[in-house]
Amino acid sequence: MYEYVSKILPSGIRHSYKSLMRYCEIKTDHDKLIGFVLLFGLELAFGAAVCIFAFFAMSIIIFGLLFLVAFLGLYLLFELVFYAWLLLSADSKAKFVEKVLPDALQLMAMNLKAGMTTDKALLIAARPEFGPLEKELNKAGKQILAGKRITEALLEMSGRIRSPILERTIRLIVEGIKSGGELSDLLQQTAEDLQNSEVVKDEIQSNVMMYAIFIFFAAGIGAPLLYGISTYLVGVLSTQFAQLEATPEAMVGSINIMKGGHINISQSFLLLFPIVSLIVTSVFGSLIIGIVKGGTEKDGIKVIPMLLVVSLTIFFLVRLMVAGIFAGMG
């Protein structure tokens, strides 16, 4: 049943899901897993929406509209979280492979210079500390040993890891093999180039770290600090003016802030507005941090939970502190 549910998604989105599952080495049938996630997301979003609005007394029309918005929002959030988990898992695997790739290439080059065949050089270069790359090297070595061409085995290996660096490196090696170059020298030179590139990347990240810290401070500390103080003060002023019943004629020598009326802002709005604003700021601030540090937005997805927790915690702590100060003054 689940495989039929998965066909509801457009072919492009379904193909993207399957590619990420392949990169994450998920052995379960991909169509069944996609269908299960879709149905489970519907049930979870429906149950969460019911729980949220179970304690609110409101008209049927308002309840229905808000319930529909909450249901769709929670469902999209669940699907985005699942997709983000697949994306981050695939990228984490790729980054680890990119980190150990120069060492693996150097080890393969040394094995070839020692007189080993290509398949044996790949198998011996598969060390446990290489993690996912060990499995791929073992698989490629066994395929070559079974009679598959080395170029085909290497290209298939790059197709199982979501890494542009690995893909470019494999294609460079394949072109070198086809042109008849010395494979050991090619591997050694490629490893040195990757190490130099990693050094340059580390220098760039260290230079832009200050920008990332500034963005984190502004979104996680500065914004909730200002929101916490300002919203509480506005709430106090709104309450005071709501209780003020004197007419403009009786307020001799005073300043009538609002002609013929008073400030009327609900406390729920003063709490809901900064929370929504902080959530939006934290999400986009995290994405900007990802662009600054890693060059892509997805590198900032893992910063979102931490920035949300920090900003909302500071916001409520500031409100409590300001309330305590006013209570002590009273």
Residue 227: inside a domain: yes
Size (the chain), residues: 330
- Residue 51 placed within a domain: yes
Model confidence over 8-29: pLDDT tens digits? 777 888 888 888 888 888 888 8
Higher pLDDT, 78 or 266: 78
- Stretch 49-67: mean pLDDT, rounded? 64
Both 269 and 320 in one domain: the answer is yes
Q: How many domains does the chain have?
A: 3
The domain boundary residue, chosen from 93, 118, 134: 93
> Mind listing the pLDDT tens digit for each residue in 275-323?
889 999 999 998 898 888 777 788 888 888 899 999 999 999 998 888 8
- Shared domain for 85 and 113, answered yes or no, is no
**pLDDT confidence band for 247 (50 / 70 / 90):** very low
Q: Are residues 81 and 147 in the same domain?
A: no
253: left (phi over 0), alpha (psi -120 to 50) or beta: left
Q: Is the full-model pTM beyond 0.85?
A: no
Residue keyed to tokens 């899901």: 17
Looking at the fold, whether 184 and 207 belong to one and the same domain comes out as no
| Strand positions, DSSP E, 266-310 | none
Extended strands (E) in 62-105: none
My answer on whether 297 and 316 are in the same domain is yes
The domain boundary residue, chosen from 93, 116, 144: 93
Domain, as residue range, for 271: 201-244+259-329
**Rg value, the chain, Cα:** 29
Co-location of 99 and 89 in the same domain: no
The Cα 71–Cα 75 span in angstroms is 6
**Domain final residue pick, 199, 217, 235:** 199
306 located within any domain: yes
User: 132 versus 294: which is more confidently predicted?
Assistant: 132
319 and 224 co-located in one domain: yes
Per-residue pLDDT band at 250 (split at 50, 70, 90) = very low
Q: What does the mean pLDDT of the chain come to?
A: 80
Task: Return the CATH number at 170.
Answer: 1.20.81
195-211 per-position pLDDT tens digit: 888 888 878 777 788 88
The H-assigned helical ranges of 159-222 are 164-178, 183-217
Query: Are both 65 and 134 inside the same structural domain?
Result: no
Q: Is 114 found in the same domain as 89?
A: no
